[in-house]
């Protein structure tokens, strides 16, 4: 059984998320599309931005185009429909708006290159994916725009494939460190099921910082923890056990909290996409006893590596794969130029 079929047994929607531009996100998408052709699987293809054009609209650099096979279900805005050289049958004109017109759900009747795009918000994207499944897609691949970290959020898809590579740094050890750090953030521990979780979920709807002290909840008149760490330090008492932070979680949230209080409480955010702390700072915080939980972690279906950088340098692909594998559990790590080692899946 191929990699794609194994994914389809576990998930219905998978986002492909790049750690940086030129990390190999679209190349990974094309590899999975080719495997679907070989395995006779009907894919649904969509994007959180615009993809499939042969030139990057921002940098002017050359981009890999998206080639779709017969039977594929794809989301195409009205203004991009005529730019496809594939034969597209319009199945449904939706009400999801974009800057390029309404989204149309199409079936590929004649294989060719297609420019794709999807709704601009996560809620609409999720609804549209449900429609694509109803139309016959067996697995939906979502090409995540590089400036849309939210596409990795657990309510955007069932799992993600993380695209990483040499573009992150000339130092391979740093590429490995940043990749493993992202994986660790995506897999932060979830608040266990039970009364505590129920209280946090209910309190989160207030969109304010919440402190849990025994059987009581206390809300601060703060909608974000950014630049509020001194105020938060004053608010944490000996009774404070948990602190829920709405919005982004950066070092500025906890910069002024006393070390003893930092060890005393456990922090909670909605999901890992809210966390913006680098690998080195994260290690320092963990040594100080810092604890962070999420309401929902992110499932990682695989990690795609690109050992080549557009700046001209590269790594040995086996060294990069093995170095990343050493720090992971059973997550598949692969270079699409050489295929997936199914023994690791």
pLDDT in tens, 295-341: 999 999 999 999 999 899 999 989 999 999 988 878 999 998 876 65
Query: CB of 278 within 8 A of CB of 286?
Result: no
Token code pair at residue 257: 């909290």
pLDDT for 64 equals 64
Query: What residues are paired with 333 via a beta bridge?
Result: 303
pLDDT for 65 equals 77
Domains contained in the chain, CATH given: 3-187+298-344 (3.40.50), 195-294 (no CATH)
Nearest to 274 by CA among 225, 228, 236: 225
Angle at 88 between CA 84 and CA 94, to 5 degrees: 100
Q: Give the span between the Cα atoms of 94 and 297, in whole angstroms.
A: 31
Band the pLDDT of 61: cuts 50, 70, 90: very low
Query: CB of 267 within 8 A of CB of 150?
Result: no
Length of the chain: 345
Half-sphere exposure of 324 (CA within 13 A, CB side): 35
Nearest to 272 by CA among 253, 300, 314, 309: 300
Report, as an integer, the average pLDDT of 109-116. Answer: 93
**6-44, pLDDT tens digit by residue?**
899 999 999 999 998 888 888 899 999 999 988 899 999
Share of the chain above pLDDT 70, in %: 91
Band the pLDDT of 226: cuts 50, 70, 90: confident
DSSP for 28-64, written as a single string: HHHHHHHHHHHHT--EEEEESSEE--SB-TTT--B--
Phi, psi of 131 (to 5 degrees): -65, -40
Half-sphere exposure of 84 (CA within 13 A, CB side): 31
Q: Give the span between the Cα atoms of 309 and 344, in whole angstroms.
A: 26
Band the pLDDT of 215: cuts 50, 70, 90: very high
Question: Which of 20-24, 47-51, 151-155, 215-219 has maximum average pLDDT?
Answer: 215-219
pTM of the model: 0.88
Rg of the chain over Cα atoms, rounded to whole angstroms, equals 22
Q: Who's near 103: CB < 8 A, 6+ residues apart?
A: 75, 76, 77, 94, 96, 97, 117, 118, 119, 128
Band the pLDDT of 149: cuts 50, 70, 90: low
Provide the mean pLDDT of the chain.
89
What is the distance of C-alpha 296 from the center of its chain? 13
């Amino acid at each position: 059984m191929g990699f794609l079929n194994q994914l389809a047994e576990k998930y219905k929607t998978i986002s492909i998320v790049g750690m940086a531009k030129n990390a190999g996100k679209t190349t990974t998408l094309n590899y999975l599309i080719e495997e679907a052709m070989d395995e006779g699987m009907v894919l649904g293809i969509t994007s959180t931005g615009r993809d499939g054009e042969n030139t990057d609209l921002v940098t002017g650099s050359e981009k890999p185009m998206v080639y779709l096979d017969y039977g594929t279900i794809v989301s195409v805005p009205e203004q991009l429909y005529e730019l496809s050289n594939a034969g597209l049958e319009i199945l449904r004109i939706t009400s999801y708006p974009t800057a390029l017109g309404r989204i149309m759900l199409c079936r590929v009747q004649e294989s060719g290159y297609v420019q794709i795009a999807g709704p601009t918000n996560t809620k609409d994207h999720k609804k549209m994916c449900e429609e694509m499944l109803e139309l016959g897609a067996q697995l939906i691949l979502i090409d995540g725009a590089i400036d849309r970290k939210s596409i990795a959020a657990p309510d955007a898809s069932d799992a993600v494939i993380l695209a990483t590579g040499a573009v992150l740094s000339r130092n391979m050890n740093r590429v490995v460190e940043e990749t493993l750090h992202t994986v660790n953030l995506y897999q932060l521990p979830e608040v266990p099921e039970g009364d505590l979780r129920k209280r946090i979920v209910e309190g989160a709807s207030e969109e304010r910082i919440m402190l849990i002290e025994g059987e009581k909840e206390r809300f601060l008149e703060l909608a974000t923890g950014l630049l509020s760490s001194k105020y938060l330090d004053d608010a944490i008492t000996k009774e404070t056990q948990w602190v829920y932070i709405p919005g982004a979680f950066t070092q500025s949230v906890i910069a002024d909290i006393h070390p003893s209080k930092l060890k005393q409480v456990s922090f909670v955010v909605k999901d890992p996409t809210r966390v913006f702390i680098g690998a080195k700072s994260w290690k320092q915080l963990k040594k100080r006893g810092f604890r962070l939980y999420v309401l929902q972690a992110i499932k990682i279906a695989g990690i795609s590596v690109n050992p080549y950088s557009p700046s001209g340098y590269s790594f040995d692909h086996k060294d990069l794969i093995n170095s990343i594998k050493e720090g992971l559990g059973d997550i598949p790590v692969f270079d699409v130029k050489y295929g997936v080692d199914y023994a690791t899946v």
